[in-house]
């Protein structure tokens, strides 16, 4: 019920988490290097299955919050999330017995590995989004009743705010203001909860799934098979059940701004091969909705993953560039993320989209 | 060394604090009503002299932070500052034995009275600005080495952020972001300190001075004397030593915006009687600099008080209106506020003004 990560698994995880992150979650390269450095120093990264948690253990998830566009220019020193976790421990008067990702995506799947390795804590193989989302209230933890507060948000200087908000949306609203003034990117500890709550509310086994996804892509590439086909063949054996290619083409326009602490914009892709016309994808840190000629082809919370057509590497939103040849894959999310309670917190309307959620399996 | 305030003293205090607040500190009317309600409920407002504090007592100052223009439309329910004080007590693991104003001006001279009355704590007859200033780092407490952090900032819903910043400027920067997202006006507890620190760093006896100023104006009015003349005659017997009328006329233009959590702008006054030309006063919550034809007539940190010429009531910045007949009085601040260390924290350059500080006694 526990495994120690090696360098190969770290590389696979970075790729797989960037895929699941659906454009967001921050740059996976930076995060992989930070975790690799822990291994190089002889530290252990121990992943434990949520089923192995005692019900009364205290788990404190850790993460980066902010704009991915900022993260690539303002990289962490590695102590910030640890500092937030320790502040939250002090506030709670209790030590964490494990940490965990709040989202599976880019740097936010590896930040908890660094925290765990440095503090000697295991990292729970689960997360609170089953993908990446831009807002902190959009976690299955909160959907199913766990309070995000008290939460701690810190920067590289040692400034820290401990926020106790009346609900998780207020927590997001207030902490985002602090993160913006910390330079647009800060490090948090939040949704402190019991082992029982993790088992009840988390999306399980997403760290090991991300590793498997990275592995599938890597092995296919080595065997000169099509990695994207290999991935689509693999998905039905997972909680994510279903995926398909919804578009392929060349990026002809990227509009991206860092606004209110988020990376927002859209990307336009001109079709190749069987795909005519153009696909337009709207972004708020993550890819939210993909349309061709105004017709919705995939919509949040289902995954919309933009992958490099040649290498099958997922491209996070801050790395999108004119001229990239890309394949867009849509994937169905686990059922825990499609309940009415879940869609109320991170369905299309929560992003100001007027379209209803239609699952990718049923999308025309 | 201790006195219990009555309603008359509260009225006098509201007027006197609005004068010392030099345009800022928030609306005195709202604050007076809140304190009066405490008296109406039979609660006691006990003011103690700083010299009566034991060196090892814990004093936690309380205040409103935000834009005075917001305060007049979003009045407090009276519990917010108490909530912040209690959160800070919990964070410190120690109970406050007194509270205190951080600034003497408008509502911020009466918020601590309400906190003290409701919690049964005495209020120290002193403050940390000797006037009002827009930024939280601009307190004599900080100038002379007291840390503003940890500080608590709360709203009317019970959201609270406890901020531990690396210095007082960062504390201001981060807490201001929270206050803005709380609606532009929030309630704080900060600069928790010992009785010894209060005696060393506070501007003493400013609450009782404000009461005296209000009394001088009231008595002169009742005796059909000129209240402003009476005030200028009274000042030399106080720590503030010197004041004079620097302009009188009619307000012909008010530019006022609520920006970045502050009320900023300028007011133009066309001269009457011996005063020709126009005076222009720049405002950031407080009146910062007064000029006639580009020539400086008074500059921060000295007080620049705009008073109603008929009634001698001080006019706070959010109440300035076209057509008001006003008299502008400048007053020298106590020596503790004019040291090189003090001017480094709240001298003209701290507000982006290029003019050096010249005390009103030496101003041409």
Q: Is B213 domain-assigned?
A: no
Q: CB–CB of B181 and A163 under 8 A? A: no
Q: Is A217 domain-assigned?
A: no
Determine contact, residues B86/B111, Cβ cutoff 8 Å.
no
Q: CB–CB of A163 and B164 under 8 A? A: no
Shortest distance between the Cα of B176 and any Cα of chain A, in A, equals 9
Q: Is A279 domain-assigned?
A: yes
Residues B99 and B157 in one domain: yes
If residue B84 lies in a helix (H) or strand (E), which one and from where to where? helix B80-92
C-alpha span between B85 and B53 (Å, rounded) = 19
Q: Which residues of B touch A156 (CB under 8 A)?
A: none
Residues A245 and A184 in one domain: no
Cis bond upstream, residue A301 (ω within 30):
yes
Q: Is B211 domain-assigned?
A: no
Q: Taking residues A308-334, what's their average pLDDT?
A: 95
ipTM of the shown complex? 0.90
Q: Which pLDDT does position B69 carry in this prediction?
A: 83
Shortest distance between the Cα of A201 and any Cα of chain B, in A, equals 24
Residues A38 and A181 in one domain: yes
Q: Which residues of A touch B88 (CB under 8 A)?
A: none
pLDDT(A276) > 70: yes
Residues B199 and B251 in one domain: no
| Burial call B201-217: b when 16+ CB within 10 Å, e when fewer | bbbbbbbbbbbbbbbbb
Is residue B169 less than 8 Å (CB to CB) from chain A?
no
Paired residues of B4 in beta bridges: B46
Q: Which pLDDT does position B273 carry in this prediction?
A: 86
Q: Which pLDDT does position B2 carry in this prediction?
A: 87
Q: Is A219 domain-assigned?
A: no
Residues B184 and B254 in one domain: no
Summarised one tens digit per residue, pLDDT across range A9-64 is 999 999 999 999 999 887 788 899 999 999 999 999 999 999 999 999 999 999 99
Q: Which pLDDT does position B163 carry in this prediction?
A: 98
The C-alpha angle B46, B48, B51, rounded to 5 degrees, equals 170
Q: Per mean pLDDT, which range of A123-132, A271-280, B69-78 is the poorest?
A: B69-78
Q: Binning pLDDT at 50, 70 and 90, where does residue A1 land?
A: low
The CATH number of the domain where B171 resides is what?
A: 3.40.1610.10
Residues A164 and A248 in one domain: no
What letter would DSSP give residue B42?
Answer: T
Q: Taking residues B50-55, what's their average pLDDT?
A: 98
Residues A198 and A232 in one domain: no
Q: Which pLDDT does position B39 carry in this prediction?
A: 98
Q: Which pLDDT does position A286 carry in this prediction?
A: 94
Q: Taking residues A159-175, what's their average pLDDT?
A: 98
Shortest distance between the Cα of B362 and any Cα of chain A, in A, equals 40
Which A positions 143-162 lie with beta carbon below 8 A of chain B?
A: 157-162
Domain span at residue B345? 237-362
Chain B residue nearest residue A155, CA to CA: B165
Q: Taking residues B326-334, what's their average pLDDT?
A: 97
Q: Taking residues B49-76, what's their average pLDDT?
A: 93
Q: Taking residues A122-128, what's their average pLDDT?
A: 98
Residues B86 and B42 in one domain: yes
pLDDT(A186) > 80: yes
C-alpha span between A53 and A62 (Å, rounded) = 17
C-alpha span between A337 and A205 (Å, rounded) = 14
pLDDT(A329) > 90: yes
Q: Which of B83, B161, B176, B180 to mutate to test the interface with A (most CBs of A within 10 A)?
A: B161
Do β-strands B46-48 and B123-124 pair in parallel, antiparallel, or remain unpaired?
parallel
Residues B118 and B171 in one domain: yes
**More confident: B72 or B118:** B118
Q: Is A42 domain-assigned?
A: yes
Shortest distance between the Cα of B171 and any Cα of chain A, in A, equals 8
What letter would DSSP give residue A315?
Answer: -
List Cα–Cα distances, A251 to A42, A248, A268, A298, A313, in angstroms: 42, 9, 6, 18, 15
Q: Taking residues A204-229, what's their average pLDDT?
A: 96
If residue B208 lies in a helix (H) or strand (E), which one and from where to where? helix B206-222
Summarised one tens digit per residue, pLDDT across range B229-272 is 999 999 999 999 999 999 999 999 999 998 888 889 999 999 99
Q: Which pLDDT does position B1 carry in this prediction?
A: 67
Among the partner-chain residues B159, B165, B173, the one whose CB lies closest to the CB of A165 is: B159
The C-alpha angle A194, A199, A203, rounded to 5 degrees, equals 120
Final residue belonging to a domain, choices B204, B219, B246: B204
Residues A89 and A10 in one domain: yes
Q: Is A214 domain-assigned?
A: no
Look at the block and give the residue holding tokens 């020709």: B276
pLDDT(A292) > 80: yes
Q: CB–CB of A160 and B161 under 8 A? A: no
Among the partner-chain residues B159, B164, B166, the one whose CB lies closest to the CB of A170 is: B159
If residue A19 lies in a helix (H) or strand (E), which one and from where to where? helix A7-20
The number of domains in chain B is 2
Residues B54 and B189 in one domain: yes
Q: Is B323 domain-assigned?
A: yes
Q: Per mean pLDDT, which range of A3-7, A65-69, B86-90, B265-269 is the poorest?
A: A65-69
Shortest distance between the Cα of A160 and any Cα of chain B, in A, equals 5
Chain A residue nearest residue B91, CA to CA: A91
Residues B261 and B155 in one domain: no
The token pair that represents A193 in the structure block:
């909860």
pLDDT(B364) > 90: no
Q: Which pLDDT does position B206 carry in this prediction?
A: 97
The CATH number of the domain where B249 resides is what?
A: 2.40.390.10
């Amino acid at each position: 019920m526990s495994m120690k990560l090696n360098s190969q698994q770290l590389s696979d995880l970075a790729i797989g988490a960037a895929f699941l992150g659906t454009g967001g979650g921050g740059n996976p390269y930076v995060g992989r290097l930070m975790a690799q450095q822990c291994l190089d120093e002889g530290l252990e990264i121990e992943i434990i299955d949520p089923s192995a948690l005692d019900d009364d253990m205290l788990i404190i998830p850790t993460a980066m919050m902010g704009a991915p566009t900022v993260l690539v220019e303002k990289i962490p020193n590695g102590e910030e999330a640890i500092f937030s976790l320790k502040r939250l421990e002090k506030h709670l008067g209790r030590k964490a017995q494990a940490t965990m990702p709040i989202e599976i995506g880019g740097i936010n799947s590896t930040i908890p590995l660094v925290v765990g390795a440095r503090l000697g804590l295991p990292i729970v193989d689960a997360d609170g989004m089953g993908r990446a989302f831009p807002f902190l209230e959009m976690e299955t933890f909160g959907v199913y009743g766990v309070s995000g507060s008290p939460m701690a948000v810190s920067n590289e200087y040692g400034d820290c705010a401990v926020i106790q908000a009346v609900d998780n949306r207020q927590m997001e609203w207030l902490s985002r203001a602090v993160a913006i003034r910390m330079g647009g990117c800060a490090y948090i500890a939040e949704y402190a909860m019991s082992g029982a709550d993790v088992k009840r509310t988390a999306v399980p086994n997403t760290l090991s799934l991300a590793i498997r996804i990275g592995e599938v892509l890597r092995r296919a590439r080595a065997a000169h098979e099509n990695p994207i086909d290999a991935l689509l063949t693999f998905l039905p054996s997972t909680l994510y059940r279903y995926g398909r290619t919804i578009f392929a083409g060349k990026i002809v326009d990227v509009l991206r701004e860092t606004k209110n602490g988020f990376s927002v914009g859209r990307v336009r892709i001109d079709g190749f091969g069987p795909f005519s016309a153009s696909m337009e994808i709207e972004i708020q840190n993550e890819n939210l909705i993909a349309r061709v000629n105004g017709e919705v082809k995939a919509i949040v919370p289902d995954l919309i993953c933009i992958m490099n057509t040649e290498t099958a590497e997922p491209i996070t939103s801050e790395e999108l560039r004119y001229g990239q040849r890309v394949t867009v894959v849509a994937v169905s999310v686990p059922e825990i993320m499609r309940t009415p309670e879940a869609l109320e917190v991170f369905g299309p309307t929560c992003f100001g989209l007027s379209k209803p959620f239609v699952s990718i399996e049923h999308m025309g």
